[in-house]
Structure 1
Amino acid sequence: MPSSLGFRAPPLALLATEPLRAVLEFCAVRWNQPAVVAGDGHPVVVYPGLGAGSMTTAPLRAHLKTCGYDVYDWELGVNTGPEGRFDDWLAALAARVREIHARHERKVSLVGWSLGGVYAREIAKHCPECVRQVVTLATPHKAIGDGNHAGTLYRLMGGSLAQLTPALLQRLGQRPPVPVTSIYSESDGVVCWQGCLERPGPDAENVAVHASHLGMPTHPDVLGIVADRLAQPEGRWRPYARRRGLRSRPTGSSRSRK
């Protein structure tokens, strides 16, 4: 079904391949370990996707810890979507980021997968003074309405899309005032990849990978790209440059814009 912005959910045939592809990608990381990037130890919070919890992002968090970051799980269990009024619930997530920022006396990087990336982006808008950068994995911030299959899962889990007013959808599509990297896959079977694209700029970029939606937080290329992005010196953000051996590519061409 097309969304109000013209985005379309991926074909059902592609959606059907997601579980098998995710398993293969999880196995691939065992043989193709991402390179360890020397991080500076700053705090990082990782947010899971809809219907996912800490186990699904464990490989990503483990790799970032190996790289030297002080990594935090979001610590709210399975992501079943916002509880109660969205902005009130979001304020509680932002309060935890402020707490981590105060504890370390350093800005916090936020990494979010799918719906978790929406949280990361909105938290950065709430407290930009506490956030170093945002990295999203297959987050359709411009196609939250009908341009994906996640809405069906959300409804099956008992959630309601009543809060997705036109004003809120417009707000979700706006980028936060911090450096942003959007990692996406054109073979994503769950969300419309065009809806994941950020308008490239001095501190915003899109990086394509060959991955399933479900396999994003375990894919070796994704793990390597996230670690690379977090390793940039604070205040000196630069666009991603592909390292040898990665199959991903940065995008800023007209083909990648919607």
Structure 2
Amino acid sequence: MATRPPFSGLPPFPLKEGEFARRIALAREERPDEEFGRPHALRLLAELDILAEPARRLVRRLEIPASARPRTVMILPGFGARSRKMRYMAEQFERAGHEAKRWGVEGRNWGPTPERFARLEDRLIELHARKREPVVLLGWSLGGLYARELAHRHPQAVAKVITMGSPFSGSPRANNAWRVYQFVTGHPVDAPPVEADISAKPPVETVALWSPYDSVIAPRCAAGLPGERDRAIALRCTHLGFTYAPEAILAVLAEFERD
């Protein structure tokens, strides 16, 4: 396999002359009717629950059963997040006996680009070849959309796709993040620079974790419709909580045990 040059995944800032105005215009696009169903913006205050999480961990220890089916798991973070955002969850997987692997891109997830996606493909192929078995793809939010497309392109390398609060169904604007996404990435949320049919079910088992308390992504978009995923599992956590809530961690661990 050819070695690609280092790619940090940094956003293209500072912006060139005229680019800032173009991105402001993208962020200020008229809100379409198809946004119906998105969480009310005030519900974003619920995401402040994450501030109490460090204190909770001082007095909480999850009971993690040893796995009867250890897996290799490639973890893909959400928009604007680094791999370390999901480190706590990865540590719980490792306690159970699984191997949790990073996504292979340095820095934050600033949206899809051909270069970033090529990196992800290389990472998946490398893990599959090294472990000599298909890899579980676990994607949070935008990372789940990457996971679904990776499974479309390399199904032989993927054992299962698990998404957490990922908007793969319905309108890509039925959420509270699309304006920020368009400003940061510089492209419309429904016209990414990487060709993908995100609502089409990958040819591997695909499980969608969603929450009615998600204040970023419309629950219906994260749950999907029959035919877009194999199963949908409802949790009771915030959008950020998918990465640390005990029920989210235990739900993912339970999925690892299923063939």
Under TM normalisation by the shorter chain, which class is it? 0.7 to 0.9
Q: Residues 175 and 25 from structure 1, CA distance in 2 versus in 1: closer, same or farther, beyond 3 angstroms?
A: farther
What is the alpha-carbon distance in structure 1 between the residues aligned to residue 66 and residue 224 of structure 2?
25
Structure 1 unaligned blocks of 5 or more: 234-258
What is the alpha-carbon distance in structure 1 between the residues aligned to residue 210 and residue 31 of structure 2?
20
In the alignment, structure 1 residue 22 sits paired with structure 2 residue 53: no
Cross-structure match for 1:81 = 111
Cross-structure match for 1:64 = 93
What is the alpha-carbon distance in structure 1 between the residues aligned to residue 47 and residue 216 of structure 2?
8
Counterpart pick for 2:249 among 223, 248, 251? 223
Q: Tell which structure's C-alpha radius of gyration is larger.
A: 2
What is the alpha-carbon distance in structure 2 between the residues aligned to residue 59 and residue 124 of structure 1?
25
Q: Secondary structure at the match of 2:208?
A: strand
What is the alpha-carbon distance in structure 2 between the residues aligned to residue 152 and residue 73 of structure 1?
28
Identity %: 27
Q: Residues 26 and 124 from structure 1, CA distance in 2 versus in 1: closer, same or farther, beyond 3 angstroms?
A: farther
Cross-structure match for 2:220 = 194
Q: Secondary structure at the match of 2:197?
A: helix
Contact 1:41 1:68 in 2 (8 A): yes
One-letter amino acid matched to 2:217: V
Contact 2:172 2:189 in 1 (8 A): no
1:130-169 equivalences under 5 Å are 130-143=157-170, 145-156=172-183, 158-162=184-188, 164-165=190-191
1:96-111 equivalences under 5 Å are 96-111=123-138
Structure 2 unaligned blocks of 5 or more: 1-29
Shift of 1:104: 0.8
Cross-structure match for 1:13 = 42
Cross-structure match for 1:246 = none
Contact 1:28 1:220 in 2 (8 A): no
Dislocated runs of 4+, deviation >6 Å: none
What is the alpha-carbon distance in structure 2 between the residues aligned to residue 100 and residue 73 of structure 1?
10
Cross-structure match for 1:249 = none
| RMSD over equivalenced CA pairs, Å | 2.7
In the alignment, structure 1 residue 121 sits paired with structure 2 residue 151: no
What is the alpha-carbon distance in structure 1 between the residues aligned to residue 189 and residue 47 of structure 2?
28
Contact 2:64 2:95 in 1 (8 A): no
Shift of 1:43: 1.2
Contact 2:173 2:189 in 1 (8 A): no
Cross-structure match for 1:251 = none
Contact 1:140 1:195 in 2 (8 A): yes
In the alignment, structure 1 residue 172 sits paired with structure 2 residue 198: yes
The normalised TM-score by structure 2 is 0.78
The normalised TM-score by structure 1 is 0.79
What is the alpha-carbon distance in structure 1 between the residues aligned to residue 135 and residue 248 of structure 2?
20
Shift of 1:4: 6.5
Contact 1:199 1:205 in 2 (8 A): no
One-letter amino acid matched to 2:251: I
What is the alpha-carbon distance in structure 2 between the residues aligned to residue 175 and residue 24 of structure 1?
36
Q: Residues 2 and 153 from structure 1, CA distance in 2 versus in 1: closer, same or farther, beyond 3 angstroms?
A: closer
Contact 2:34 2:171 in 1 (8 A): no
Cross-structure match for 2:6 = none
